[in-house]
Structure 1
Amino acid sequence: MKVICMTTSKGGAAKTTNTVETAAALKILGKKVLVIDIDQTTGLTKYVGAYYEPDERESLGIKTIYDILTGDCSVDEAILDVECFDLISGDERLANPQITFNKEDDQYLLKDICEMLEENGYDYIFIDHGPQKDLLQKMSYIASDYFFITTLMAENDRQQAKNAVAEISQLQKSRNKLVTGDVYGFIVSRVKKVSLSDLAISDMENEAAIYKENRSVEPRIFTIPDAIAIAEAQTFKVPNTMAHKSSNVSRAYYDLADYILEIN
């Protein structure tokens, strides 16, 4: 079992989209996949049509990642079987994690949860955290084996992607070696056939080369074309990699999924 985190330091950079579409592609390829939404905005949970208001969750007995982290339910009690993969849904109560999880060892809670999930036979667990630099992001980094850095083409997006690599590297070098996972890829999303896309790809290739010098792992560059199909997937609550497997954007995600299988 491997734990995967698609990450960047900026919101709106297709992190959640890349997580959903890649996880669904791996499910189609026959793998057992679980996605954990640890973002207080619950964006991924909404993406796949599994969001319920707090009072609805209570009446239906639906548990979330918050309930697991606080010890209010078991891991198995919170797993939802949605069409595209298994899901542990997000929760708005994660808004102030530094208050709720204020013990030093709490940073390992998500890693402990992932280790417990090994008994469930998952091939891959994806973690989707929020863009803010907080304890939940740190938990996600500590728990993960593979990182994929997501970015759009603009300079600010690329800089935020580099910041994410720097944050991961800092934790890799920490006294306790808090992060043991590695960056295996950069994903440039919403790519259009303009000169800016070449610049963005070149910039990420340089960042990948620097990472290889420091860690002896050579991250691969992936491009995801700009496509209205992704907006449609979010509207209809079905990943494009499931609804339209042969589309250009789906093929890009299947290439990424194939690469993840190769790493394994």
Structure 2
Amino acid sequence: MKVICMTTSKGGAAKTTNTVETAAALKILGKKVLVIDIDQTTGLTKYVGAYYEPEERESLGIKTIYDVLTGDCSVDEAILDVECFDLISGDERLANPQITFNKEDDQYLLKDICEMLEENGYDYIFIDHGPQKDLLQKMSYIASDYFFITTLMAENDRQQAKNAVAEISQLQKSRNKLVTGDVYGFIVSRVKKVSLSDLAISDMEDEAAIYKENRSVEPRVFTIPDAIAIAEAQTFKVPNTMAHKSSNVSRAYYDLADYILEIN
């Protein structure tokens, strides 16, 4: 079992989209996949049509990652069987994690949960955290084996991607080696046929080369084309990699999924 985190240091950089589409592609390829939404905005949960208002959750007995982290339920009680993969849904109560999880060892809670899930036979667990540099992001980094850095083409997006690599590297080098996972790829999303796309891809290839020098892991750079199909997937609550497997954007995600299978 491998734990995967697609990450960057800002919102709106297709992190959640990349997580959903890649996880769904791996499910289609026959793998057992769980996605954990640890973002207080619950964006991924909404993406796949599994969001319920707090009152609805209570009446239906639906548990979330918040309930698991606080010990209010077991991890198995929180797993939802949605069409595209298994899901532990997000929760708005995660808005102030530093207050809720204020003990030093709490930073390992998500890693402990993932280790418990080894018994469930998952091939891959994906973690989707929010854009904030907070305890939930740190928990996600500590729990993960593979990182994929997501970015758009603009310079600010690329800089935030580099910042995410720096944050991961800092935790890798910390006294307790808090992060043991590695960066295996960069994903440039919403790519259009313009000169800026070549610049963005080249920039990420340079960043991948720098990472290889420091960690002896050679991350690959992937491009996801700009497509209305992604907006349609979010609207109809079905990943594009399931609804339109042969589309250009889906083929890009299946290439990424094949790479993940190779490095496993």
Measured against the shorter chain, the TM-score band is over 0.9
**Structure-2 separation of matches of 1:238 and 1:118:** 27
Which digits, 9 at most, give the CA deviation of each residue in 1:45-90, with x for residues without a partner?
0000000000000000000000000000000000000000000000
SS at match of 1:147: strand
Write the distance in 1 (CA, Å) between the matches of 2:225 and 2:219.
19
* Deviations, residues 14-45 of structure 1 (Å, cap 9, x unaligned): 00000000000000000000000000000000
2: CA distance between counterparts of 1:142 and 1:15? 18
The alignment covers a number of residue pairs equal to 264
Q: Per-residue deviation at 1:113?
A: 0.1
Secondary structure in structure 2 of the residue aligned to 1:189: strand
Counterparts of 1:64 and 1:235, CA distance in 2: 23
- Alignment partners' CA distance in 2, 1:93 and 1:131: 16
The equivalent residue for 1:187 is 187
Aligned ranges for residues 1-264 of structure 1 at < 5 Å?
1-264=1-264
Where 2:184 maps in the other structure, the secondary structure is strand
Q: Residue deviations 1:132-176, cap 9 Å, x none?
A: 000000000000000000000000000000000000000000000
| TM-score between the two structures when normalised by the length of structure 2 | 1.00
Distance 2:198 2:132 in 1: 28
Q: Distance in 1 between matches of 2:174 and 2:34?
A: 29
Q: What secondary structure, in the 3-state scheme, does the structure 1 residue paired with 2:71 have?
A: coil
Q: Which runs of 5+ in 1 are unaligned?
A: none
> How far does residue 108 in structure 1 lie from its aligned partner after superposition?
0.0
Aligned partner of residue 232 in structure 2, secondary structure: helix
Task: After TM superposition, give the deviation of residue 105 of structure 1 in Å.
Answer: 0.1
Give, in whole Å, the separation in 2 of the partners of 1:103 and 1:139: 13
Distance 1:93 1:218 in 2: 38
Displacement of 1:211: 0.2
Deviation at 1:234, TM superposition (A): 0.2
**Matches of 1:179 and 1:87, distance apart in 2:** 24
Q: What is the distance in 2 between the residues matched to 1:154 and 1:189?
A: 10
Please give the secondary structure, in 1, of the residue aligned with 2:9: coil
Secondary structure, in 3 states, of the residue corresponding to 1:222? strand
CA distance in 2, matches of 1:115, 1:257: 23
**Aligned-residue offset at 1:247:** 0.0
Task: Kindly state the Cα deviation for residue 222 of structure 1 after the two structures are TM-superposed.
Answer: 0.1
What secondary structure does 2:193 align onto?
coil
Q: TM-score, structure 1 length as denominator?
A: 1.00
